[in-house]
């Protein structure tokens, strides 16, 4: 039986592995379109085609680092059609000469990947884990406008899902004494659990130069700190609209900070040797499923196999730190072990 299992696992592990990512990352929702023409059908065609270009701009900026935005491939109508798998329409309004709607475009992950990799552009292909955002001015106030703007659902739907604390009285009590200086991840753990978040960022609003706002960021989870402060021109309009714009800029800064670390250059391929241990065939199968399902891992070979341990050769894209981070997100702890690495399920998960 053991020989059969070994042969089966060795066969599976020698196969190349496909990257996996949520379709929602490659879906651009509710793009506003508006066009006029001599006939309604012509106006509809023009509007939907124009929306394709808008959607591509939005998707490209979602997936790539800000420093690479000037490298965006410019595509004609035929090129865009190769990228877009399907689309759906909502909120249609039409007359004999005008067409207005919101269009959701679903891009082909494989086609987008080929285009970006062919142009040597690093990108992310999945969302970050949920992050708890704690709005402060200078401390947390549950009913403040700065807190309310962060409760807009758009922040939870970004490439880095950002969620504000719930209205649960327990959250309010836990955050009432938090300051930028003394906050700890352990202190916020119950609040994070209620928001299903795995990291936390304090976002403290402060006055800047005339006509500007400054937002100081402090990340509480493991990993590199975020750029801080974020300086944002205050737009004209109501107080709530101005703070919503400041929150948008802050969310973009958080996302860009994450993409700077997470965006993978798929032309950069490496291998590592790693050991793992397991207590049962079921544990081994779960480990393999998690490892081989990771988008950074492109191939695995078995170098050795024992009763409750295995040595693997793992091929991956990007850097070792990116692999380590991606595996951590999947619940696997990767640490140096002798001349190689040890990978095992994170006991916290």
pLDDT in tens, 106-141: 999 999 999 999 999 999 988 888 999 999 999 999
Contact between residue 338 and residue 272 where contact means Cβ atoms under 8 Å apart? no
Give the three-class secondary structure for 19. coil
Give the three-class secondary structure for 123. strand
pLDDT band at residue 215 using 50, 70 and 90 as cut-offs: very high
pLDDT of residue 239: 85
Q: Residue 134, Cβ neighbours under 10 Å: how many?
A: 25
36 closest CA partner among 117, 97, 81, 110 = 97
Mean pLDDT of 64-88: 95
Mean pLDDT of 40-60: 96
pLDDT of residue 23: 53
- The third-level CATH classification (topology) of the domain covering 2-20+265-345 is Alpha-Beta Plaits (3.30.70)
Mean pLDDT of 263-271: 90
Tokens of 220: 């509480």
Please determine, for residue 195, whether its predicted confidence score (pLDDT) is greater than 60.
Answer: yes
Contact between residue 5 and residue 281 where contact means Cβ atoms under 8 Å apart? yes
pLDDT of residue 7: 36
Residue owning tokens 């709005």: 135
Buried b / exposed e across 245-282, counting CB within 10 Å, b at 16+? bbbbbbbbbbbbbbbeebbbebeeeeebbbbbebeeee
Eight-class DSSP state of 209: S
Q: Residue 151, Cβ neighbours under 10 Å: how many?
A: 16
Mean pLDDT of 210-218: 87
DSSP H helical segments within the chain, as ranges?
A: 2-13, 40-63, 77-83, 109-118, 145-149, 153-156, 169-175, 185-195, 239-262, 281-292, 320-329
pLDDT in tens, 140-181: 999 999 999 999 999 998 899 999 998 889 999 999 989 988
pLDDT of residue 1: 37
Mean pLDDT of 285-295: 91
> Is the overall model pTM greater than 0.85, yes or no?
no
Q: Round to whole Å and give the CA distance between 267 and 117.
A: 7
Eight-class DSSP state of 197: -
Contact between residue 132 and residue 165 where contact means Cβ atoms under 8 Å apart? yes
**Under CATH, to which class is 131-262 assigned?**
alpha beta
């Amino acid at each position: 039986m053991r020989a059969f299992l070994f042969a089966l696992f060795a066969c599976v592990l020698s196969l190349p592995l496909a990257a996996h990512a949520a379709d929602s990352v490659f879906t651009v929702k509710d793009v506003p379109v508006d066009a006029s023409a001599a006939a309604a059908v012509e106006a509809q065609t023009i509007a939907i085609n124009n929306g394709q270009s808008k959607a591509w701009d939005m998707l490209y900026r979602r997936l790539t680092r800000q420093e690479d935005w000037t490298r965006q491939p410019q595509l004609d109508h035929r090129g865009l059609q190769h990228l877009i798998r399907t689309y759906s329409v909502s909120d249609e309004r039409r007359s004999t000469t005008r067409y207005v709607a919101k269009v959701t475009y679903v891009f082909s992950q494989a086609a987008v990947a080929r285009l970006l990799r062919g142009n040597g552009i690093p990108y992310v292909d999945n969302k970050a884990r949920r992050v708890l955002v704690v709005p402060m001015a200078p401390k947390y106030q549950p009913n403040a406008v700065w807190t309310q703007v962060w409760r807009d659902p758009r922040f939870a739907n970004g490439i880095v899902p950002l969620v504000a604390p719930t209205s649960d009285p327990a959250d309010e009590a836990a955050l009432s004494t938090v300051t930028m200086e003394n906050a700890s991840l352990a202190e916020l753990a119950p609040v994070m659990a209620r928001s299903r978040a795995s990291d936390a960022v304090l976002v403290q609003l402060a006055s800047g130069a005339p006509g500007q706002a400054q937002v100081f960021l402090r990340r509480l989870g493991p990993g590199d700190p975020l750029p801080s402060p974020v300086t944002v021109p205050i737009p004209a309009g109501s107080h709530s609209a101005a703070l919503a714009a400041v929150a948008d800029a802050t969310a973009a800064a958080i996302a860009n900070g994450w993409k700077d670390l997470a965006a993978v250059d798929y032309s950069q391929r490496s291998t590592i040797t790693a050991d793992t241990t397991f207590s049962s065939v079921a544990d081994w199968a779960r480990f393999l499923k998690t490892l081989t399902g990771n988008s950074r891992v492109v191939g695995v070979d078995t170098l050795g196999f024992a009763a409750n341990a295995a040595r693997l050769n793992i091929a991956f894209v990007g850097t070792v730190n990116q692999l380590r981070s991606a595996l951590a997100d999947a619940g696997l702890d990767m640490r140096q072990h002798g001349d190689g690495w040890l990978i095992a399920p994170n006991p916290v998960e």
